[in-house]
Amino acid sequence: MSDKSHDPNQMTGAAMIVRALIDHGVTDIFGYPGGAVLPIYDEIFQQSEVQHILVRHEQGAGHAAEGYARSTGKPGVALVTSGPGATNMVTPLTDALMDSIPLVCISGQVPTHLIGNDAFQECDTVGITRPCTKHNWLVRDVNDLAKVLHEAFYVATSGRPGPVLVDVPKDVQFATGTYHPPRKSDVHRSYAPRVKGDAAQIRKAVALLANAKRPVIYSGGGVINSGPEATKLLRELVEVTGFPITSTLMGLGAYPASGKNWLGMLGMHGTYEANMTMHDCDVMLCVGARFDDRITGRVDAFSPGSKKIHIDIDPSSINKNIRVDVPIIGDCGNVLGDILQVFKAEAKKPDIKAWWQQIAQWRARNSLYYRKSNDVILPQHAIQSLFEATRGKDTYITTEVGQHQMWAAQFFGFEEPHRWMTSGGLGTMGYGLPAAVGVQVAHPDSLVIDIAGDASVQMTMQEMSTAVQYELPIKIFILNNQYMGMVRQWQQLLHGNRLSHSYSEALPDFVKLAEAYGGVGIQVHKPGDLDGAIQEMISVKRPVLFDCRVAALENCFPMIPSGKAHNEMLLPEQANDEATAKAFAGGKALV
């Protein structure tokens, strides 16, 4: 028998968790303590390599970890207790699953011998989170813990990234076992995401691209997830081919908004030129996007005349909603590299002058037009002013969900990836404030702004307290229209303007609220005061709640109405009452 007492790899499960975090390069985690994770918190207390950020609600920990992950490209880590701690993580886990965000959640569980007994703060965490994680584990033996933790990091960050959860019973945290550093054999042999695209498919794709008359590149969050190389290659491909490019909500920033080939975002609230280009193109190159229903509109009328190339690391994304002609399974960066290489060797820039002329006509429709006012701040104008004021600054934007989110996507120009954090797939109100906390932790000296709505921001407002505690100078820029604006807009357009429960009654005084938390409150009503107030917000090095009072009944346009195709968008200048009623006919239109 060997003497194990001096073996440095002998340690408790709780110590293994902290050690594994360090071995995976984790410097910051977001969490909330409770009975079933006290041994882990004890370990955290006795070291200084991993900084723990105490949130005010576990959902906040999850979204903060998401913001951290999306702004750094590294996995975000959350630590929660059993029962309610774990159930409070369900929303962020689902959010991260929908948006392919690498997230590692460690949850405490009641001791193994109590599992299944309805013990205090017991819940079936792996059962509850199975459909909202990429994979999850319940660790029953301390000697499995190191392997599972390493595999968890690998699964979260490789292939199509996503959230994972490791559930660790309290007795396993106390038990002593053998730790080992990460190694290849920690991972299931059955898990081997495909990275390299098929060479024959890549040739087919290049042949289509080289002969295109009316091409478009449609990129998504996959390009950003793939890393800086993919972004670089995407930009190079646009340069080499001269093709127009649009992107999903999740993909903003992969191609710079100031780039000359940029069409703006596509989809339900995308630009006219982006959606018309998609509709009329003859070759579509989809890179790391998934033909979501907010993108396609009516599927049987989606880009009817085009040959479609689809690059995705997840085979299940291919042919799910839209049938494509040339699927390429692989990592965006890798496949783009191969496409570029073949294109440069064998093809030359296609002549698409006529196509650009057509696009110029669509652009001239100026689909993001809105009528400015001297009396009341238009929300679009507020975003534009914010954008102008932050130009050239090291800025990160998060959002909540609603009209303000769409206006932010339309009017804030992103030049770089990882600068735009929004809940796309799940559309989680309450995402933006805690996400901003996470972003600011990762980038302490940057300007981090949550573009918020008056309703959304109240869902996770408590994280203001976290921001104050850790001196995170996040800016919460509330487009306060005193409505759940997006809900009100749908009710107006689709439900006879019966505004059922969409008015934000009894709103708090956001200035006083900010002060109550120990932050700074700013309120603006007049367009003339806006720029000065934004400057003040930026210069304050403390958390700010910015109550920007905007026009209450402004609608978000352009918009693809119900059951309509991309070429049947409703543009702002047409959106008078009569046209709107007609476009949405089928609804009991009183608009």
Partner 1 sequence: MNQPASAYFIEERHDPNETHTLSVLVQNEPGVLARVIGLFSGRGYNIESLTVSETESQKHLSRITIVTTGTPMVIVQIKHQLDRMIPVYRVVDMTLTKRSIERELAMVKVRGQGEHRVEALRLADAFRARVIDATTESFVFEITGNTDKINQFIDLMRPLGLVEVSRTGVAAIGRGPEGM
Ligand X SMILES: Cc1ncc(C[n+]2csc(CCOP(=O)(O)OP(=O)(O)O)c2C)c(N)n1
Binding site for Mg ion (CB under 5 A): 453-454, 481, 485
Q: Which residues pair with 12 in a beta bridge?
A: 176
CB of 455 to ligand X, least distance (A): 3
Q: Nearest-CA neighbor of 149 among 195, 199, 106, 193?
A: 106
Q: Is 378 in the site for ligand X (CB under 6 A)?
A: no
**Do residues 291 and 322 lie in contact, with contact meaning Cβ atoms separated by under 8 Å?**
yes
Q: Which of residues 429-458 bind ligand X (CB under 6 A)?
A: 429-430, 453-456
Instruction: Report the residue number, 148 or 522, with the smaller CB distance to Mg ion.
Output: 522
Question: Which among 295, 377, 380, 369 has a CA at the least distance from the CA of 575?
Answer: 369
The binder of partner 1 chosen from 203, 320, 443, 525 (CB under 8 A): 320
Q: Is 401 in the site for ligand X (CB under 6 A)?
A: yes
485 in contact with ligand X (CB under 6 A): yes
Going by C-alpha positions, the residue among 477, 515, 457, 516 that lies closest to residue 60 is 457
Which of 81, 136, 201, 428 is close enough to bind ligand X by CB under 6 A?
Answer: 428
Looking at 4, 120, 213, 372, which residue is catalytic?
120
Hey, which residues does 549 pair with through a beta bridge? 480
Q: Which uninterrupted H or E stretch holds 19?
A: helix 13-23
Interface size with partner 1, residues (CB under 8 A) = 39
Retrieve residue 392's tokens.
């050239």
Q: Which two tokens stand for residue 326?
A: 């040339």
Instruction: Give the bridge partners for 136, in sequence order.
Output: 165
Q: Does residue 216 contact residue 285 with C-beta atoms inside 8 Å?
A: yes
- Give the one residue of 6, 189, 353, 501 binding partner 1; rule: CB under 8 A: 189
Least distance in angstroms from the C-beta of 473 to ligand X: 22
Closest distance to Mg ion from the beta carbon of 24 (Å): 39
Q: How many residues bind ligand X (CB under 6 A)?
A: 20
Peptide bond into 102 cis (omega under 30): no
Q: Under rule CB under 8 A, which residues in 266-295 are in contact with partner 1?
A: 268, 293
170 is catalytic: yes
483 binds ligand X (CB under 6 A): yes
309 close to 243: Cβ distance less than 8 angstroms: no
Q: How far is the CB of 312 from Mg ion (least distance, A)?
A: 34
Catalytic residue among 134, 147, 170, 307: 170
Q: Cα–Cα distance between 405 and 294 in angstroms, integer?
A: 14
Percentage helix, strand, coil for the chain under 3-state DSSP, each rounded to 5: 45, 15, 40
127 binds, among Mg ion, ligand X, partner 1, none (CB under 5 to 8 A by kind): partner 1
Rank residues 243 and 584 by Cβ distance to partner 1 and give the closer one.
584
* Residue 58 annotated as catalytic: yes
- Which segments of 119-158 does DSSP mark as H helices, in order? 125-129, 142-157
235 lies in the binding site for partner 1 (CB under 8 A): no
Is the Cβ of residue 461 or residue 487 nearer to ligand X in the bound state? 487
- Rounded distance between C-alpha atoms, residue 99 and residue 91, angstroms: 12
User: Could you say which of 136, 158, 465, 481 contacts ligand X (CB under 6 A)?
Assistant: 481
Alpha helices in 364-476 (DSSP H): 379-390, 403-411, 432-442, 463-469
Does the protein bind partner 1 through residue 138 (CB under 8 A)?
yes
Contact 462, 422 (CB under 8 A): no
Q: Which does 314 bind (CB under 5 to 8 A by kind): ligand X, Mg ion, partner 1, none?
A: partner 1
82 three-state secondary structure: coil
Report if residue 584 touches partner 1, rule: CB under 8 A.
yes
Q: Please identify, among the stretches 23-31, 80-88, 479-487, 528-536, the one whose residues bind ligand X according to the rule CB under 6 A.
A: 479-487
Instruction: Check binding of 107 to partner 1 (CB under 8 A).
Output: no
Say which residue the tokens 């309290």 belong to.
Answer: 170
Judged by beta carbon distances under 5 to 8 A according to partner kind, the member of Mg ion, ligand X, partner 1, none in contact with residue 429 is: ligand X
- CA count, 13 A, side-chain hemisphere, 91: 20
The pair of structure tokens assigned to 297 is 């509109």
Euclidean distance between CA atoms 285 and 67, whole angstroms: 29
The CA-based angle 565-570-576, given to 5 degrees, is 150
Sequence-ordered strand ranges (E) for 201-315:
215-219, 245-247, 262-265, 283-287, 307-312
Q: Give least dist CB 188 to partner 1, A.
A: 5
155 binds partner 1 (CB under 8 A): yes
Candidates 204, 495, 525, 542: give the one binding partner 1 (CB under 8 A). Answer: 495
Strands (E) in 454-502, as ranges, are: 475-480
120 noted as active-site residue: yes
Catalytic-role residue among 121, 358, 469, 574:
121
Rounded to whole angstroms, the Cα distance separating 386 from 318 reads 38
The minimum distance between CB 586 and partner 1, in angstroms, equals 5
Length of the chain, please?
A: 591
Closest separation between CB of residue 374 and ligand X, Å?
Answer: 22
Q: Which residue from 181, 518, 532, 563 is in contact with partner 1, where contact means CB under 8 A?
A: 563
Nearest approach, Cβ of residue 136 and ligand X (Å)? 23
Binding site for ligand X (CB under 6 A): 400-404, 427-430, 453-456, 479, 481, 483-487
Contact set with partner 1 (CB under 8 A): 126-127, 130-131, 134-135, 138, 155, 160, 188-191, 268, 293, 296-300, 314-316, 318-320, 323, 490, 494-495, 559-563, 584, 586-588
Active centre residues (catalytic): 58, 120-121, 170, 486
